[in-house]
Amino acid sequence: VILARTQAHVLTLTLNRPDKLNAANDELLLTLTRELQAADANPDVRVVVLTGAGRGFCAGQDLGDVSGRDMTFTEHLHHTYNPLIRTIRGLGKPVISAVNGVAAGAGASLALAGDIRLWAASASLIEVFSNIALIPDSGSTWTLPRLVGYHRAFELMALAERVRAEDALRLGLCEHVFADDTFAADVQAYAERLAQRPAHALKLTKQALVAALTSGLDEALDQEAALQQLAGDHWEHEEGVSAFKAKRAPQFIRE
């Protein structure tokens, strides 16, 4: 259900249920979470890319896989989706959501959960939950209003309208849009560029940003002061400064 491939320090995890637009079942969600946790512990992996096989990114919960389950909705979310979203947010490496096609429901939440969101020109996002009279989950209620504000988030959720790439870029739901036919290569090139950056400093940057999203300025300043010490004490900092002085490119990858 998940394909894993590492190339040039970039781990690509591909949701692989293309016949169902990569709709998620428990196996997919738990496997993906496990793969991400393993990536966090693997020093060879510097960047993680999440993408989908076929023409979809992820159509959210597999609606053929919910009837008759012995878990409540609450238990189901605590068991599968919530650990996945927490793992992405807590991962000490950049996670790229490479949205190759439609991202709907919890798939939309996954598309928004990455640290960087790269979209194919034909990709789209739908907060589809209200079509089946559910509420947005897997972090959408937290992420989306922070990106587009309360009112636009509410409208997108209430009407379940499809957001296409051009509008996603305008609304801040993605950082870049690449052509469909070069999408995988463009994502890999982007990810490899990111993999050259100082991994330890990026880990701390993510930690500081994630914390600051829910803190006040005073706490953010204290957090920066504490984490800057960890960055400054690391060899990456020494390398960056030496490279600057020697007028050469820094080398942040030590094999």
Using CB under 6 A, list all residues that contact ligand LHQ. 20-21, 23, 59-64, 66, 73, 76-77, 81, 102, 104-106, 126, 128-129, 131-132, 134, 137
Task: Name the maximum alpha-carbon separation found in the chain.
Answer: 66
For the bound state, the minimum distance from the C-beta of residue 184 to ligand LHQ, rounded and expressed in Å, comes to 20
Q: Which is nearer to ligand LHQ, 138 or 191 (CB)?
A: 138
Q: Which is nearer to ligand LHQ, 126 or 208 (CB)?
A: 126
Q: Which is nearer to ligand LHQ, 1 or 227 (CB)?
A: 1
Q: Which is nearer to ligand LHQ, 163 or 191 (CB)?
A: 163
For the bound state, the minimum distance from the C-beta of residue 133 to ligand LHQ, rounded and expressed in Å, comes to 10
Classify each residue of 11-23 as buried b or exposed e, where b means 16 or more C-beta atoms within 10 Å of its C-beta.
bbbbbebeebbbb
Give me the sign of the Cα torsion angle 119, 56, 29, 72.
positive
For the bound state, the minimum distance from the C-beta of residue 149 to ligand LHQ, rounded and expressed in Å, comes to 23
Q: What is the DSSP string of 131-185?
A: GGT----TTHHHHHHHHH-HHHHHHHHHH-PPEEHHHHHHHTS-SEEE-GGGHHH
For the bound state, the minimum distance from the C-beta of residue 183 to ligand LHQ, rounded and expressed in Å, comes to 17
Distance CA 251, CA 255 (A): 11
For the bound state, the minimum distance from the C-beta of residue 111 to ligand LHQ, rounded and expressed in Å, comes to 12
For the bound state, the minimum distance from the C-beta of residue 24 to ligand LHQ, rounded and expressed in Å, comes to 7
Radius of gyration for the chain, computed over Cα atoms and rounded to the nearest angstrom:
19
Q: Which is nearer to ligand LHQ, 99 or 126 (CB)?
A: 126
Q: Where would I find the H helices in 43-93?
A: 73-76, 82-90
Q: Which is nearer to ligand LHQ, 120 or 128 (CB)?
A: 128
Question: In Å, how far are 48, 74, 199, 222 from 213, measured between CA atoms?
Answer: 22, 25, 21, 14
